[in-house]
Amino acid sequence: MDLELLDQVARLDGWLGEGGVVVLSGAGLSTESGIPDYRGPSGSARRNTPMTYQTFTGDPLARRRYWARSHLGWHTIGLARPNDGHRAVARWQEQGLLHGVITQNVDGLHQAAGARSVVELHGNLARVTCLDCGDLTGRAELEQRLTAANPDFTATASAMNADGDVELDDAALDGFAVVDCRACAGTLKPDVVYFGETVPADRVSRAFELVAGARTLLVLGSSLTVMSGRRFVLRAVKQGLRVAIVNRGVTRGEPYADLLIDAPLGVVLPNLAPGTDTYRLLAG
């Protein structure tokens, strides 16, 4: 590491050691687990437009296309494992340094690493909800049903979004069968917030409560392009909190950041170890 980065990491290490930190994580935290981000270096949104709620609910053909693509994407999302960044966050929480964890991700990797009481702003792909009766089921069960309903579906995906939606030629979708809710035969949807859909008010309220009780807001792997995450940065600034951002590439949070570290999260986060000599740790 160069001296400037060493100084930045040491400064963040000191803030973390004071406790009262709220983590706000984005897709960039999960890229080292094999899940692409939207607008960072892997930039999947630039080549694969995310599904919108309006399209999913209003177009049966688009819904069938989505489930075929998502069925393939789950092969990657479902097998993804936490990386050093997720494990670092869980360790900080265990040490009592975190006031809370808010994530924009839908991959469940914070919890898989051991984090608790995570506010999942955009839901979790591991759950499936019925738009008609509200029944909530596990994604593993749905995947078994989709596999059984489509024994000859052998398509392969190319690019993938952070929400598990892959890029797939329409010709490969011929004959793909969608399954309905077992409880009421209604329409199934991943329990995630699509573009064009509103984040549930109780999740937003809980996230604001966490920010209100914090000393530092630490943004990890988010470009903060959409207001869904950026509003918490704006609230932190309004309340006089310190804002630290660790992200690869451009972030719209730069004007509000007291500390901005443009570096791989897998390099920075494992080296944040309050109570140790950060310089010696990084240099060694």
Give CA–CA dist 170/174, Å, rounded. 7
**201 vs 94: CA distance, rounded Å:** 28
Half-sphere exposure of 33 (CA within 13 A, CB side): 27
153 is in an annotated binding site: no
Pairing type for strands 98-103 and 119-120 reads parallel
Q: For strands 136-138 and 123-130, give the pairing.
A: antiparallel
Residue 249 assigned to a binding site: no
Catalytic residue among 71, 99, 110, 122: 122
163 annotated as belonging to a binding site for a ligand = no
In terms of residues, how long is the chain?
Answer: 284
Determine which helix (DSSP H) or strand (DSSP E) holds 243, and give its type and residue range: strand 242-246
- Measuring CA to CA, which residue among 29, 15, 84, 14 is closest to residue 279? 14
The response to whether 133 counts as a known ligand-binding position is: yes
Which residue, 123, 41, 231, is CA-closest to 243?
A: 231
Q: Could you confirm whether 99 is annotated as catalytic?
A: no
Q: Which active-site residues does the annotation give?
A: 122
Which segments are annotated as binding site? 130, 133, 181, 184
Which segments are annotated as binding site for Zn(2+)? 130, 133, 181, 184
